[in-house]
Structures are given as structure tokens and as C-alpha cells.
Structure 1
């Protein structure tokens, strides 16, 4: 009997020890999860401010560019066709920004439904990869004109550019279509709805593979093509010692496009995939600081990636065929008309004002 009671006591002690160990493990996991939580508050201020800047400057710049292409750039050259499509891609994205601005000012509480979430992410990626491919087309076009001017005479036609642009839109739409599946909304702990900028946790592995494919075909291949084209352009300009207007436009094109890739596209793709990798494979307490830095840097590059929509108008002005000259002509005409209108308005003063003006000038002939 005593042995039985002793055994029961030993069993109870062991059970209590296991229970305490389980509670300790739970507390430790909770502590780790709390310690590893990401600081997302800064994006409530950084991203909407960036999007406001992009919306205002992008809307003004691309609207002016669209107005120029429609009314003052006729007849279009082949490179103008590429630039016009680049304007359309930028404007589509700019018009979608007010929703994102409200979303981040609202502490990432998404109130617009899942369809709007999918459409928002789809538009961003269409603009991103559409802009990259149209910049690639512009670069290849300039390469043909500088390095192979004789061969390109019969090839760089407006009809060919139109066909290429249609193909670009089709390729981009088809390649970005999976975003409509991956993008979705989800509930957070405080019961608010969020619109994932990538995808939900259960689809993360598949999305990471898709992200690597789009990075390779949508960014790496075009970027390598641009670098090769610009290498031959610079070589031709130096070796042939060109002193034509094409030299200046080509140099400006090289500088602007490389700056856009260095600031907007390259950091975004690197940090996006690095952030996905961290979410998949680095979840331990020892990598918390690394995860935080990666996430914060990724959010910064998201804002930088949107800057291409307000930088592209600078490209049209500095590197576009006849764009700057025709813009100056159009602005001069508008100012001239406004000046003539003001002069006509002043000349149609009332008789009382006319008498007053005459008396002030000392003329009493009336």
C-alpha cells in the first residue's frame, strides 16, 4: 500500500514537471515570436508619402507627355511609339495610387475587397515589367540607330514598333496573370483585413518560385540586353567620334535608364526575393535582426520602385526625338496666346476707364 502511494506520488511529480516544462516551452516560443515581430509602423508614413510624391509628379509629368504625344508629336517616329506606350503604363499605375495612399494611412486596414486587392497588385507589376520592357525596346532602337545606322534604315519603322508594343503588352499581361491568383486579402490578429503585397503564408513557396522566374525573365534578361546595347553604343560614340545631336541624346538615354535601373528596379528585385527567402527559411530567434533589416529595406525599395513613373517624363524630355524642341514650341505658343488674350482684354476697357487713361496721360483732344 505504501509502495502504491509512493508510486502515485512519483507519477504526479513527473506529470507536474512535464506540465511545467510544457508551459515553459510555450512561454519561450511566445517570447521568441514577440521578440521576432517585425516593426511595420514606419511604412504607415514612408510609403504613403512616397506614393503621394509619385502620384503628383507622375500625374503631371505623364499627362503633359501624353498631351505632347497626341497633339504635337505627329507624325510619330518608331521610338515615339515606344515612349507613348511607356506613358500609358505609367498613367495606369499612377491612377491606382490613391487607393494605396489611403490603405497605408489607414494602418494597412484594407476595406476595398479582395478583387480590388488583386487588381492593385496586378497593375503595379504590369507597370513594373511593362516599363522595363519598353525601356529595353527604346534602348535596342537607339542601339540600332547608332551602331547599325545603314541596316536599321528599313527596319526601324512605326509599323514594326507598333507590333512590338502589342507583343510586349500581351507578354506582360500573360506573365503577370498569376498575380491575380497569388494576391489576396487576409485577417490579422486584431481582426482587420490586410492586402498582401506578395501572397499568403500557405502559398509562399510557390510564389517564391514564380518571383524568381519573373525576376529572371522580366528583369535580368532585359537588364543584360540593355547593358550590352549601351556597351556597343558607348563604343561606337567613342570610336567614331560622333558629333551629331544623336550623340547627346544617346548619352542622356544611357545615363537616365541606368539610373532608373540602379535606383528603382535592381534594389526592389534583390530585396523582394531576399525577403521571401527570409520568410521561408530564416524563422529562428537567432535571425530576428536579419529578418527585420531585410523587411525594412524591402519596404524602402517598394517606394523606390514606384519612382520610375515620375522619372520617365524626364527621359522623354532629354532623350526623345524632337520632344524637347516641340515642347518648347508648344509652350511658347500657349504663352503667346495668353499674352495676346491679356492684351486684348486690356484694350477692351470701358469708356470710363478709357477717359481716365486719357486724362492721366494729359491728352485733352476729346
Structure 2
């Protein structure tokens, strides 16, 4: 018998229903309360960050503040998608808001996730330029450059997320009756992709992992690595400042290593696992064999990362405090008075302090 993931030989409905019931159990038991809690924390923290940027930062904003504000907006929009997702996963797993809302939720989820990665990369590159090349930063990097780059970042994120509008769709009830925990086949599902699209979605997931995660990671690694090397080998940098650079670099790398990279990797692996099971499905002898063939470890790993990855947007406000002088002073990382006044034109020979990670305004030529 010839089988393909495109659906030439369909998978028996009872096998698919049994697999979906097993795999959905983890989402209904674990994922929805985690997402609901992260929605509350991320909304409050990023909303507060935006409030602080709007009320405490001088206009025009420095590039560091522009990128940080864009990151806060992206994270806030991302957090808002967690609430309908948590409500959907609350047992019984049932989407009640129509197909348009289903597609938009998936699109906004992906778009703002990508935007978050891109703006973290912009912050990393801006830090490198400000600390290692302060003359260039002061003379050539202006606020409008940051706004233009931010606009390009939003366009790129939207373009990369656009295919989700095609992949996502509703799957109506497979049987009549009231939707309940004991009758999940009577519920409506909001799917990220359908079975006949798995091959195309596999290619798309690889694209997201490469362009939306891998490339920004390499840029951030290069920026942080060059920043750390320059500061650690600078004779004008104190031991305390070198320690702060080490903490900055470690925190940036940990943010990627613990959230975006595992999420992207497990997404790709989960699609591969679905393809393998789907190809074997028509040949399973019975339900027991179909259940045994499920790669539950890969599936659960991806679901765990779906729960852990939003923690990054709860941590990002700490990143804002590392790049905004008006917030640095409250943490004791620099002088409030120095961060709010024009840069002394006679003090430009040294590597800039980390709390001056933007483009300061000069008081003279």
C-alpha cells in the first residue's frame, strides 16, 4: 500500500482521534495555566516598561530606547495572544471565536515572536556600536535610523509570519453532540496546520528556525562576542565594568539558549515526528499500535517549550533597564545625573559605560 503525507491514503479517523486525545491531554493539564500566568506577568511588566519609556525618557529618544520600546510593544502584543490561546486549551479544548480569529491569533503569535527576536538583535548590535565605536555612534547613528530599522523589522516579521494565515484553519466537530472533556471529537479545533500541509509546513518551520532564529542568533553572538572582547582587553575599563559586560553577554546568550532556540528546534522536530506517524498510520493494525508509535517525547518537549518560551517576554523588562539610563540609575548601575545631561565633549576617549548604551546628545562640535 502506498502512503503519503499528502493524504493519498487517509489515516483512519479512529487512529487520529486516539492520537489527538493523548496529545491534547498535556495541553489541557499543563499548558493553559502556564500561559494564563505568563499573560498576566508579561502584560503588566511590558505595559509598565512602555509607561516608563513614555514618561521618563527625553525626546527625541536615543536608538537604544527606540529599540527597547519596539521590543516592549512586540512583547505586549505577543502576551495578548496568550490569553485566547489559554482559553482555547482550557478543557475541553474548543475554539469558539470563528476561523478569522483563529488565523489572526496564529499570525499575531508568530509575528510578534519574530519581532521580539529581531529587536533583541537590534539592541545587541546597538550596544556593540555604542560601547566599542562611541565616536561613530555619536556622529553617525541618529534616532531616525533606529525608527527606520524598526519599521523594517516589523515588515520582515509580518512577511515571515504571513504563511500562518494560510496554514492555520478550523477543524469542525467530527461528531454531533455537546463538546466536553469526554467527547473531544465534538469540539472545534484551531489548527496551526492540517495533515495534508505537513510537508509545506515542515519547509516553513525550517525557514522560521533559520531566518527567524538562527541568523539573529549569529548576529547577536557576533555583537556580544566583539563587545566582550573589546571591553575585557580595554585598559581604561575597571574590573567592575568588565564584570558587568560579562553579565550582559551571559544574560543575552542565556535568553536565546533557554527560549527561542529550543522552541524553534522542537517545532521542527515535532513536525518531522508528525510526518513519520502520519505516513505509518494507514498500516497500523489496531489502536494499540497507533498509540505506541506516537513520539510523545518530541511532542511533550515542544509543548514544554511553548510554555517556557513566553517567560522570555517576562524577563525582557530587565533588559530595558540595562539599556535605558533613566532605569539604570534606579538599579545603581550608573549616575542618574550623568544619564540625563548632555555628554561631556571632552570625555570621549574611553569605552562607554554600559548604562550609556544609546546615542547621547552632544553639547558641542
TM-score by length of 1: 0.75
Tell me the CA shift for residue 238 of structure 1. 1.3
Q: Which residue of 2 aligns with 1:183?
A: 168
1:31-110 correspondence runs (5 A): 38-75=22-59, 76-110=61-95
Identify unmatched segments of 5+ residues in structure 1. Answer: 1-28, 329-366
Residues 39/148 of structure 1: CA separation in 2 closer, same or farther (3 Å cut) = same
Contact 1:85 1:165 in 2 (8 A): yes
Counterpart-to-counterpart distance in 1, 2:13 and 2:168: 29
Aligned residues: 299
State whether structure 2 residue 290 is matched by structure 1 residue 295: no
Q: Deviations over 1:79-133 (max 9, x none)?
A: 0000000111111122232211211113221111111111111111111110100
- Structure showing the higher helix proportion among its residues: 1
Contact 1:118 1:183 in 2 (8 A): yes
Say which one has the larger Rg: 1
Residues 85/151 of structure 1: CA separation in 2 closer, same or farther (3 Å cut) = same
Counterpart-to-counterpart distance in 1, 2:126 and 2:240: 16
Counterpart-to-counterpart distance in 2, 1:212 and 1:288: 27
Q: Which residue of 2 aligns with 1:233?
A: 227
Q: Which residue of 1 aligns with 2:200?
A: 206
Tell me the CA shift for residue 36 of structure 1. 6.0
Tell me the CA shift for residue 259 of structure 1. 1.7
Which of 97, 111, 117 is residue 112 of structure 1 equivalent to? Answer: 97
Tell me the CA shift for residue 40 of structure 1. 2.4
Residues 273/288 of structure 1: CA separation in 2 closer, same or farther (3 Å cut) = farther
Q: Deviations over 1:287-328 (max 9, x none)?
A: 946611111111111111222221111111244333232689
Counterpart-to-counterpart distance in 1, 2:68 and 2:32: 28
Q: Which residue of 1 aligns with 2:343?
A: none
Q: Which residue of 1 aligns with 2:251?
A: 256
Q: RMSD over aligned Cα, in angstroms?
A: 2.5
